[in-house]
Structure 1
Amino acid sequence: MHTLGRHILAEIYGCDPSILNNRSLIEKIMVEAALEAGAEVREVAFHKFSPQGVSGVVVISESHLAIHTWPELGYAAVDVFTCGQTINPWDACNYLTEHFNAEHMTATEVKRGIFEEPVKVANL
């Protein structure tokens, strides 16, 4: 079996609420997580909600990292999707868990684009 990508759905619990409610800090940590995994960052977009919470996405050449936070619960829902074989999405998830000062993370990996034979992708 061959896959086009790996998609990690991470549940990060027991995070520092002050980090999860800080848009600029969340953006910085998310970009650093992408770089830590070896990804090439293309664009970032983050939004701070009132009274609390942050949502955002880091678009990478290899796909994306996305987050939504609930500071009042110390919880962050994260998704890291990487295409190709050179980027390890688990590196990004572990980086986020550490830098959110989280107590624990649970995650599921989904293989995306499963094929019997290797797929040759044409350059458009």
Structure 2
Amino acid sequence: MTANDNGYRPAGTHLLLDFWGASGLGDKDGIDAALREAADACGATLLDMRLHQFGGEGGVTGVALLAESHISIHTWPENGYAALDIFVCGGCDPEKAVAPLRQRFNPARFEITTVARGLRADISSKGCTTPLNEAPKPHKPSFDFS
């Protein structure tokens, strides 16, 4: 994919997930496992995991730091709601990270927003496995929202 008229080209794909009616949102160990499974499923390299739980039964906020970017989560167990991001570049497939997250949290309803993230053409993509001068694969969501 080439740079557009503004000098930008996609650097990676960012999925924004909203889960409603989800379970396990106060289980810090389960969230850790889910983020690790998601990173592995999409072909990413996990560099570090940081999670924080608010109070004994409170929500969890955290990030799986990836060589290819990140997967993050913020939970509100009292509302059954979780907000997650999956942002990856290079050869990773962010869609493959969704299934382990859905399996772990079993949301009654979910929405996914896909954003093609960009960089100016004169900025390098250090840390990504696909240089910006190579065309990334077009990303077409294949989710079944039923």
What's the TM-score once normalised by structure 1's chain length? Answer: 0.85
Partner of 2:124: none
Partner of 1:3: 10
Partner of 2:88: 82
User: Superposition RMSD on alpha carbons, in Å?
Assistant: 1.9
Partner of 1:95: 100
Q: Which amino acid aligns with 1:71?
A: P
* Match status 1:53 vs 2:59: yes
Q: Describe the SS at the equivalent of 2:102.
A: helix
Task: Provide structure 2 residue ranges, at least 5 long, that are not aligned to the other structure.
Answer: 2-8, 122-130, 135-146
Rg bigger for which structure? 2
Structure 1 Cα separation of the partners of residues 120 and 85 of structure 2:
23
Structure 2 Cα separation of the partners of residues 91 and 27 of structure 1:
17
Structure holding more strand per residue = 1
Structure 2 Cα separation of the partners of residues 104 and 40 of structure 1:
29
Structure 1 contact 3–115 (Cα < 8 Å) conserved = no
Deviates more, 1:75-84 or 1:100-109: 100-109
Q: Deviations over 1:77-117 (max 9, x none)?
A: 00010011x2111111232012112112101111011678x
Structure 1 Cα separation of the partners of residues 20 and 99 of structure 2:
13
Q: Which amino acid aligns with 2:28?
A: R
Q: Describe the SS at the equivalent of 1:33.
A: helix
Task: Provide structure 1 residue ranges, at least 5 long, that are not aligned to the other structure.
Answer: none
Q: Which amino acid aligns with 1:10?
A: L
Runs in 1 of length 4+ with deviation above 2 angstroms?
A: 118-121
User: Aligned to 2:35, which of 14, 30, 35?
Assistant: 30
Q: Describe the SS at the equivalent of 1:57.
A: strand
Structure 2 Cα separation of the partners of residues 119 and 45 of structure 1:
29
Structure 1 contact 7–109 (Cα < 8 Å) conserved = yes
Structure holding more helix per residue = 1
Structure 2 Cα separation of the partners of residues 31 and 48 of structure 1:
17
What's the TM-score once normalised by structure 2's chain length? Answer: 0.73
Partner of 1:41: 46
Fraction of identical pairs, as percent: 38
